[in-house]
Amino acid sequence: MRQGRFEKGLDEAMSRLNASIGYDQRMYIEDIEGSIAWAKALEKAGILNSQENQEIQKVLKEIEEEIRSGEFQFSIELEDIHMNIEARLIERLGPTGAKLHTGRSRNDQVATDLRLYLRKACDATIDGIETLIEAVVKTAERSLGVMVPAYTHLQRAQPVLFSHHLLAYAEMLLRDRRRFERAREEADVCPLGSGACAGNQFGMDREFLRDELGFSDLTHNSMDGVSDRDFVVDYLHASCLLATHLSRFSEDIILWCSSEFGLVKLQDTVTTGSSMLPQKRNPDAAELARGKCGRLVGHLMGLLTTLKGLPLTYNKDLQEDKEPVFDAIDTLELILPVFKVMVETMEVVPDRAAELLQGGFLDATALADYLTRKGVPFREAHDLVGLAVRKCEELQTDLANLPLEEYQKISGEFAEDLFPAIALEATVKDKDVIGGTSPKRVEEEIKRINGLIAASKK
């Protein structure tokens, strides 16, 4: 590539900086897929004859097997996966192999490879998310009878089913799945045939290339085709939000596992010990998932910063798109299976859940609702319950055990039927709306989510 224009070779330090073969070699399958499609299109355009096309395809498949088996010798001097494969092809086929790059640039080649690679990555991530959703739902089904406090501002607020809490994360994961589906759609566009920046000069059939590579659409501007990395940003954005949701879930699990909460027990298979403290059972799976979130946020911010100042079209800065996305893919491949095991095998401790429901006046809102149903305006009911809570604190008791005569000093609307109305089971059952925490609605949600996952696998 340098022999015609340059007299001297690259400085060794420049060669190391310039080369991407250390990480882009993982796209060798996609590079060969694109090259085989290009060879077919070259024959269709009359650049290759049938024999040359068949020879190129045969050797490319042999090169793919060389790389897969570990026999292939990558060269840093050849910079990237594209030149490494092409050089080996020319070594094997001579002038016939040298024809393959006719009308093609590494600019449209790398954009095509990366889109092909990310389509597969999105599919794998979606599968991992769906598997995790199934684990969340299974644990929710096992825990249907357990009530726990829900928190706002990390203060006890109202009782909910533990299953309802878990299914909140299933909702986040369903949104994550949709984001990766959209990221896949954005990647599913073929830029091959865009050339270096201006398009192809040999009349290549781009619709043929699109169909041959299984893309749903074509890019419609050659300059944008070689320089667009929005689809990479979309994958990183989806990864970033998925990691954020897993981090939030991790934080809840870490709190639940603490001695202060004691609400959940994690299995030995996802916990670690201490080198000094023999009693420790550390929730490292959750902590590592929480910690890796920052890494993925950094990848998204890094690529956006790289892109923000680039003029059209291709610039070598775009080489910085691959390491963050490859690391994001690898990170999610590490986290999702472990998170699935952690969630699927964790056990809620019912006795501790019952203890956590005591204190914090979780039935205060139900008491205000009781008055509201008797015609008391809610703001007035809110104030009256506040007086009742203050009296409980004064007498060191709770709303369920405050004597009726104390209630009636606050308001004549209070009667003996208030106690069944503020029982925790009743307050949970009372939230009988779509999205509510009543057992009936939670069971409906479990069925709905299971149906969504089942439908996606058909």
pLDDT at residue 207 tops 80: yes
What's the CATH class of domain 364-456?
Answer: mainly alpha
Spacing of C-alpha 398 from chain mean position: 43
Average pLDDT of the segment spanning 76-104: 97
Does the annotation count 274 as an active-site position?
Answer: yes
Q: Average pLDDT, whole number, for the chain?
A: 96
Residues 311-350: pLDDT tens digits?
Answer: 999 999 999 999 999 999 999 999 999 999 999 999 999 9
Catalytic member of 15, 216, 258, 274: 274
Residues 120-132: pLDDT tens digits?
Answer: 999 999 999 999 9
Q: Domain 12-102: give its CATH superfamily.
A: Fumarase/aspartase (N-terminal domain) (1.10.275.10)
Q: What is the pLDDT of residue 41?
A: 98
Q: What is the pLDDT of residue 14?
A: 87
Q: What is the pLDDT of residue 1?
A: 55
Q: What is the pLDDT of residue 432?
A: 96
User: Percentage of the chain surpassing pLDDT 70?
Assistant: 98
Residues 277-295: pLDDT tens digits?
Answer: 888 889 999 999 999 999 9
Residues 4-42: pLDDT tens digits?
Answer: 566 677 888 988 898 999 999 999 999 999 999 999 999
Contact 56, 93 (CB under 8 A): yes
Q: What is the pLDDT of residue 24?
A: 96
Q: What is the pLDDT of residue 3?
A: 60
Q: What is the pLDDT of residue 7?
A: 61
Contact 257, 264 (CB under 8 A): yes
Angle between helices 81-93 and 28-44 (to 10 degrees): 50
pLDDT at residue 85 tops 70: yes
Of 367, 382, 384, the residue nearest 423 (C-alpha): 367
Q: What is the pLDDT of residue 281?
A: 87
Residues 381-428: pLDDT tens digits?
Answer: 999 999 999 999 999 999 999 999 999 999 999 999 999 999 999 999
pLDDT at residue 166 tops 90: yes
Q: What is the pLDDT of residue 261?
A: 95
What pTM did the predictor assign? 0.94
Distance between CA atoms of residues 318 and 296, nearest Å:
18
Distance between CA atoms of residues 260 and 250, nearest Å:
16
Name residues whose C-beta falls within 8 Å of residue 254's C-beta, 6 or more positions apart in sequence. Answer: 283, 286, 287, 290
Catalytic member of 50, 69, 153, 275: 153
Name residues whose C-beta falls within 8 Å of residue 75's C-beta, 6 or more positions apart in sequence. Answer: 21, 84, 87
Does the annotation count 216 as an active-site position?
Answer: no
User: Hey, how many other C-beta atoms are within 10 angstroms of the C-beta on 235?
Assistant: 28
Q: What is the pLDDT of residue 9?
A: 78
Domain ranges for the chain, please list them.
12-102, 107-354, 364-456
User: Percentage of the chain surpassing pLDDT 90?
Assistant: 93
Q: Domain 107-354: give its CATH superfamily.
A: Fumarase/aspartase (Central domain) (1.20.200.10)
